[in-house]
Amino acid sequence: MLSSSETPRAATAETIGSFKALLLDMDGTLVNSDAVVERVWRGWAVDHGLDPDATLKVVHGRQGYATMAVLLPDRPMAQNHAENRLLLAQETADLDGVVPIPGAPAFMDAIADLPHALVTSADEGLARARMNAAGLRIPEVRVTAESVGASKPDPEGFLKGAAELGFDPADCVVFEDSEAGITAARAAGMRVVGVGPRAAAFAPDAHVQDLTRLRVTADATGTAVFASA
């Protein structure tokens, strides 16, 4: 089993670890929404005289207002929140190219009877739109943008997800793709499985290229056990 102090590594045929609850990021982890994110945020960057490529390095994992605060640090936060509402509406309406991450449908089926929650920087409307577009079941327990006062990389969302499921942070594993999300999970005292090419650079406890590389079982105590496929 991995602890948070162990050296990060790519998942091989070895066991990743045993956990009691799962906390799942959405974009980049369960759903590939990169096409929409790039369209919307490249347009936003151009409108504000910013480098689109540099902007996209900040966007992933954060709520929109938090991205704006990083890129336009002198702008009033109220303006960021107002503009974020407009971008959320654009992203919710634009589902072209939204698809499941490889292995996501089978992964969601495999964990259906295990304690799990969606913890996403999307709001409820965007989360439902993208999960539906990708053909994925929406977890009953969800921590969305409306549920928290601070965006990832703040750990609030993951801590709230663990609390709603009734487990200590140390008993939870997070599935994430972004630097902001992995940082938030670590700050929450949780172990992290990085999913996809972005995640490898940010020191998750284990890393897989996609969800086809994982299998999920349960031991006699009901604890979820994850190993690379």
The CATH number that applies at residue 159 is 3.40.50.1000
Residue 213's pLDDT is: 87
205 as an active site residue: the answer is: no
What sign does the CA torsion over 67, 68, 72, 75 have?
negative
Any catalytic annotation for residue 177? Answer: no
Which amino acid, residue 179?
E
196 contact partners, CB below 8 Å, separation of at least 6? 28, 29, 101, 177, 209, 210
Q: What is the pLDDT of residue 11?
A: 41
Cα 134–chain centre separation: 15
Distance CA 191, CA 61 (A): 17
Confidence (pTM): 0.88
CA distance 72 to 53: 15
Are residues 212 and 222 both part of a single domain?
A: yes
Do 196 and 25 contact (CB within 8 A), yes or no? no
Same domain membership, residue 170 and residue 117: yes
| The dihedral formed by the CA atoms of 54, 59, 61 and 66, expressed in degrees to the nearest 10 | 120
Q: Is 192 in contact with 204 (CB distance < 8 Å)?
A: yes
Q: Clarify whether residues 130 and 176 are in a common domain.
A: yes
> Active-site residue among 25, 123, 154, 177?
25
Same domain, 109 and 49: no
Residues 20 and 83 in one domain: no
pLDDT by residue for the chain (229 residues), tens only, comes to 443 334 444 444 457 888 999 999 999 999 999 999 999 999 999 999 999 999 998 998 899 999 999 999 999 999 999 999 999 999 999 999 999 999 999 999 999 999 999 999 999 999 999 999 999 999 999 999 999 999 999 999 999 999 999 999 999 999 999 999 999 999 999 999 999 999 999 999 999 999 998 888 887 776 777 767 4
Is there a cis peptide before residue 105, judged by omega within 30 degrees of 0? no
Residues spanned by the domain of 71: 34-93
Indicate if 209 and 130 belong to the same structural domain. yes
* Set 27, 123, 154, 205: catalytic member: 27
Q: Give the pair of three-digit tokens for residue 72.
A: 């336009």
Pure H helices in 134-178? 156-165
Cis peptide before 155 (omega within 30 of 0): no
Q: Which residue's structure tokens are 């347009």?
A: 43
Kindly report the number of other CB atoms within 10 A of residue 207's CB atom.
23
What does each C-alpha distance from 52 to 42, 47, 66, 83 come to in angstroms?
Answer: 5, 10, 16, 17
Which among 93, 122, 144 is the end of a domain?
93
Answer yes or no: are the C-beta atoms of 29 and 175 closer than 8 Å. yes
Is 3 a member of any domain? no
Please answer whether residues 131 and 30 qualify as being in contact, where contact means their C-beta atoms are separated by less than 8 angstroms: yes
Question: What end-to-end distance do the CA atoms of the chain give, in Å?
Answer: 16
Domain count, the chain: 2
Residue 227 is predicted with a pLDDT of 66
> Helix or strand or coil: residue 174?
strand
Question: Residue 218 has what pLDDT?
Answer: 82
